[in-house]
Amino acid sequence: MSLYRSVFSESIERFVNYRKASGSWNETYGLHIKLFDRFCADTYPGRMLCLKMVDEWCAKRETENNCSCSTKTRIVRGFIGYLRSRGLTDVTPTVSPKPEKKK
């Protein structure tokens, strides 16, 4: 049984396996890709990945600073890049927020 619930859950599983095999995976990525999948499944049930989903997920929330927003969205941008490199989507990943200057 899959950990993921969205229509594109199989693509997420392949992406996760690819990243794990390449040694570029960690628990934080696992948490954020799972939260993104749930957001898509709950907010856009039955819909394939689209720019609106990505934009809504990647939008900086009032409770986030640029660093936490970047952490939340990094794996989603990686997932989109993975899909694009295989010709599976035409969605363009969002730009990562610029880091804030340390005080």
User: What are the boundaries of each domain within the chain?
Assistant: 9-85
pLDDT number for residue 35: 97
Q: How far apart are CA 44 and CA 40, in angstroms?
A: 5
pLDDT digits (tens, 9 = 90+) for 33-91: 999 999 999 999 999 999 999 999 999 899 988 888 888 999 999 999 999 999 999 99
| Other CB atoms within 10 Å distance of the CB of residue 86 | 12
| Other CB atoms within 10 Å distance of the CB of residue 24 | 10
What the block records as the tokens of 99 is: 């880091």
